[in-house]
Structures are given as C-alpha cells and as structure tokens.
Amino acid sequence: MNLIGSSQNQQAVTSGFRVDISRGQRIGRVSSEWFSRPDDERYLSLTELYDAVKTRADRAKARTVESRAVRVEASRENAERLALIVPGQDQPVAPTHWSFGQLCSLVGAPATYMRQLPAPLAGINLQHGLLSHRAELVKTLEAEDGRIELRAVTGPDYGRIWDHELVAAVVRIAGNGTGDTMWKVPGMLDWATMTHNPFVDITKDTTTLYASDRDVFLFLVDDTHPIEVGRLPNGEPDLYFRGFYAWNSEVGSKTLGIASFYLRAVCMNRNLWGCENFEEITIRHSKFAAQRFAHEAAPALTSFANSSPAPFVAGIKAARERIVARTDDDRETFLRKRGFSKAGTAKIIETVLQEEGRPPESIFDFVQGMTAHARTKAHQDRRLELEGKARTLLEKAA
C-alpha cells in the first residue's frame, strides 16, 4: 500500500478555506458510522477511546477449549436466559447477542431461529451441536463486568488483534486526536460558502472516534494544512487535505483495515467529499493476523504520517498536463476504448463541459468527468466500477 504523505512542511491555516467538491469521489463510510452510533459509542479524544478499549481488554480472558466439554445450561423458570459452563471457568458464562450468533454459526444452527426458541429448547440444540462439532476445538473470549460474559466464540485458529492495539498505533502518530498533533477529528463544510472550516468543537455530534462492544472505528484528518494541487477554472487554488480511517473488531465481526486518501471537505453528516487517491489495506483475523498487523499495518500508519505529498501532487500535475483528446472524435474514441457506452461517453463529456466550461482534453479532465458521472449511479457496484476506472486512469498518468 502506497500511503499518502505528510504536510509537516505546509503552512498551517488559521481559518476556513474554499473547496470545490464537484471533483473526486464522495465516500460515505464515515457517514454510515456517524449515523449508526449511539452516544455511549462516541468518544471525544483518542485518549478516552484508548482507555475504554484497553480497560475492556484487561478484563477479558481468552482460552481454547474442547467444544464437547462446553455445557449449556437453561432454566425453565427463565425462558430467555441461557448460560454456558466453560472448562476452566467456575461460574456460568452468559453469551452476548453477538457471541450467541457466533456459537450458532459454529455448530451450524440458524441464529435467528434459535433466538426465537425458549432457552431450554435452544440449549438442547446447542448442546447437540457442540457434542458433534467436527472441529472439536473453539476459542472463547470472556470478560467480567458485573457478570461473566462470553464476548466471542471463534475457531481455534482465530488471530485476534485487540482493538486497543489499533488505537495505540494511531495514538503514536496522532496524540489525542484533538489537535495536539496535525491529526485531528475533522472540521466541517459550510455549504453556504463552500468553505471547509477545520476549527469546529469536538462534541458527541461531531466526533469521528467510535467503539462498541464488538468493534472500533476512527477517522482523522490533517485539515489545518491544505495542499494546493493546481487551479480551479476560476483561478482559485484546488485544495486538498489528507485523511485516513481505520477499523477493527477483536470479537470477529469485521476485519482490521486502514484506508488513506486525499479529500477536499467533510460535511456535518461526515460524508467525505472530493476524495482522490483512495487506498486500503485489510487484514483478516486468521492465524498470523497479529504478525501482519505488527509488520504491515502499524508501520504503514507511521509511514503515512512521515512521508511527503509530493508523489500525489506530481501525479495530479502529470494528469493535468497529459493531453489525450483535442477533438470530439478523440474524446469519444478515448472513452469508448475504455469500455464506456455511447450514452455514458456523452454524459462524461457533458459533465466536464458544464463544470469546467470546456470539453475534456487531459487525463485529469476525464478522471473528474468519470467520478462525477459515478456519483449519479444509484447502484453501488456500478458506482465503484466507474470510480475504479477513474483511479486506474489517474495512476497510469503518473
């Protein structure tokens, strides 16, 4: 992964700056997280977030046990309560909603149906599945917080990366995430003036630092050091800043991943606007996941923080300067050779004409037309396909 560069030598701004979000991609991943998180999953600093997930991990204990040695207990007096007796644990362990689903999946039982059964009947089915479980071993993650909960149950080769390990790696480059380094919770786009303001108070409504009982997600930017990459049609600078988001689930609900990119603005709903150069790495929680995190993901974050934006700037400059079409026939041929339909070709050319005041000529013009056209697509697969073609074209220009 070629992570994007630092703005350490850029002049810090003291106020908002105008942006043109009609260019580049719109990325909704952070907005989806923002919409779905209740207040108790929102944190106001990386320090607070780290303390929460580290404390949770400190209370947890992982063990590998024989599945046939796990006993399921249920009481007729409480038809909704089911508990497990796990070897090495004296007290009953209560499965969470998530771990119950994992347990059902391991033994081949439909979790939705099992949740509808009275606990004694669900217990009989689970016990049968555990006794006949072909893999023989399971890995449990238990935590004590008033009662002992089963937070996760996975196969024996599950490679756990703790949520606090990811947050700690980010803390090393971003401090508390509130402005003690260049990396911080993002500011906000003012739609009336099309100005991105980096200086917005961090509240439960604006934060982009999240953790639940099954995952962690964080998004940070360096929006006080915008980078000029060429000029807009009106002569104003085309400004970007750097951003990245990262995620993990120590209980197996998702992979670990890091995505980096340049962007032009973040709106109130935490949509990312005008994104370019999006790159992503993911690590599955397989047997050697922890080693991959140590040797790939964590160093990538450090490299990201310390590298230069020069390659990105040079790539955009090269794409702007590389003229590939001077006539209407050139433009149509260029796009049709890249798999665009006649109608799609016309829409891309028309989009550039409307936004730039002239038809596309350079690689950069065509890339901007493709990404703008992609934003009109209702189906995500088609949108991603178009954005992928635009990204490939831009990379080849560099």
Task: Give the tens place of pLDDT for each residue, 81-118.
Answer: 788 888 888 888 989 999 999 989 988 889 999 988 88
Domain final residue, candidates 111, 144, 177: 144
Cα separation, 77 vs 240, whole angstroms: 62
Q: Which domain holds residue 176?
A: 17-55+160-315
Residue 302's pLDDT is 80
Q: What is the mean pLDDT of residues 248-263?
A: 92
Residue 1's pLDDT is 38
296/391 same-domain check: no
Cα separation, 204 vs 38, whole angstroms: 9
Cα separation, 320 vs 397, whole angstroms: 9
Structure tokens at 64: 């590998």
Whether 294 is covered by a domain: the verdict is yes
234/254 same-domain check: yes
pLDDT at 6 over 80: no
Average per-residue pLDDT for the chain: 87
32/180 same-domain check: yes
239/381 same-domain check: no
229/259 same-domain check: yes
Residue 12's pLDDT is 86
302/332 same-domain check: no
Q: How many CB atoms lie within 10 A of CB 266?
A: 29
Whether 31 is covered by a domain: the verdict is yes
217/94 same-domain check: no
Contact 196, 186 (CB under 8 A): no
Whether 10 is covered by a domain: the verdict is no
186/294 same-domain check: yes
What are the distances in angstroms from CA 285 to CA 111, 156, 161, 206?
Answer: 22, 11, 7, 31
Domain final residue, candidates 118, 144, 170: 144
Domain final residue, candidates 86, 117, 144: 144
Whether 214 is covered by a domain: the verdict is yes
Determine which of 146-150, 222-226, 365-369, 372-376 has the lowest per-residue pLDDT on average: 372-376
Whether 204 is covered by a domain: the verdict is yes
Q: At 235, is the pLDDT very low, low, confident or very high (cuts 50, 70, 90)? A: confident
pLDDT at 308 over 80: no
Calculate what percentage of the chain has a pLDDT beyond 90: 41
Residue 387 or 267, more confident: 267
48/167 same-domain check: yes
Could you give the number of structural domains in the chain? Answer: 3
201/77 same-domain check: no
pLDDT at 364 over 60: yes
> What is the C-alpha R_g of the chain?
25
231/100 same-domain check: no
